[in-house]
Amino acid sequence: MMSSPSQTQSFIPAMTAIAREAGALLLEYFHQGLKIEYKGDADLVTAADRASEVLIRERVAKQFPSHDVLGEEQGLNDRGNEYRWYVDPLDGTTNFAHGFPVFCVSLAIERRIADSQKRVAAVVYDPTRDELFCAEPGKGAQLNGKAIHVSKIGQLKESLLATGFPSHKRHKNPNIFFYHQITLRTHGVRRAGSAALDLCDVACGRYDGFWEFNLNPWDTAAGVLIVEEAGGKVSGFDGSPFQLNSRETLASNGLLHDALVHEFQEIFAGRGLDPLPDPREYRR
């Protein structure tokens, strides 16, 4: 049984082993094809989400028995410990359930002392590409053991961005307007379906920025630290400091941040919105 690491000891090796094991389990389910269940209206959950979280919780309980765990499927197990894990056992469930190979395991550890909370370690593992991203504060971010950095693109019109749409309550989400406007001002906006991987793709420079409404702490806890440690910036849509419980995630390489915050201000204010073309007109 391991105790909590001191300043010099890292959680990353243990988290990496757990994420790899959970990722391998996800791949097994993925290749079998599986039965889709519905959590809500269109909120898919599969046997794989559940089995992955069970595995992760078992490993954490064995190695760090006093740690708290917040997982997407089982909620918060609160022992009042200073260390809390944020677990998304399968980020990208809709992709997974449809056989689209973009999904991952996301693990972060936060240290909570008095009123302060600090994320101390993050691991995101994509089993389909065997890509493992990790970060610790002040130590940089890595992909498969090599240091990664955000891109150097400084102009919105030369950038490639990413966003996401929730799997349910989509009719209450205004993101299509942001998608439309920002698509017109950039090289394009991708929508791959896994927020944790989108953040990692900002961290390693594949994307220059990413935003999404209404993400949950288990979607962002790891990816945000990975972006920051790769030299990027994460905030609310108005540029204010990122909050794990906020409903706004705006990540970028840092260079584009002000321009993105400006675009968001304009869109929220309804200024300069390009009208969506009428498909009937287009057809003619």
Residues contributing to the site for ligand 2AM (CB under 6 A): 43, 72, 88, 91-93, 164-168, 193-195, 212, 214-216, 219
Taking CB under 5 A as the rule, which mask of x and - marks residues 55-84 in contact with Ca ion?
A: -----------------x------------
User: For ligand 2AM, which is the closer residue by CB, 89 or 231?
Assistant: 89
To Ca ion, the closest distance from the beta carbon of 73 in angstroms equals 7
Residue 215 binding target from ligand 2AM, Ca ion, none, CB below 5 to 8 Å by type: ligand 2AM
Query: 227: Cβ–Cβ under 8 A, 6 or more apart, which residues?
Result: 141, 150, 199, 200, 202, 203, 233, 234, 251
Angle between helices 175-184 and 257-269 (to 10 degrees): 130
To ligand 2AM, the closest distance from the beta carbon of 248 in angstroms equals 12
Residue 10 binding target from Ca ion, ligand 2AM, none, CB below 5 to 8 Å by type: none
How far apart, in whole angstroms, are the C-alpha atoms of residue 138 and residue 45? 36
User: For ligand 2AM, which is the closer residue by CB, 172 or 280?
Assistant: 172
CA dihedral 53, 58, 63, 67 (to 10 degrees): 60
Pull the structure tokens for residue 147: 């240091």
How far apart, in whole angstroms, are the C-alpha atoms of residue 236 and residue 259? 14
Would you give the end-to-end CA distance of the chain in angstroms? 70
To ligand 2AM, the closest distance from the beta carbon of 173 in angstroms equals 9
Piece of the chain touching Ca ion by CB under 5 A; list 22-30, 55-63, 88-96, 269-277? 88-96
The CA distances from residue 88 to 56, 192, 225, in Å, are: 10, 17, 15
Angle between helices 217-229 and 195-203 (to 10 degrees): 0
Q: Which residue is nearest to ligand 2AM (CB)?
A: 164
Q: Are strands 83-91 and 104-113 parallel, antiparallel or unpaired?
A: antiparallel
To ligand 2AM, the closest distance from the beta carbon of 224 in angstroms equals 13
Residue 213 binding target from Ca ion, ligand 2AM, none, CB below 5 to 8 Å by type: none
To Ca ion, the closest distance from the beta carbon of 110 in angstroms equals 18
Q: Which chain residues interact with Ca ion by CB under 5 A? A: 72, 88, 90-91
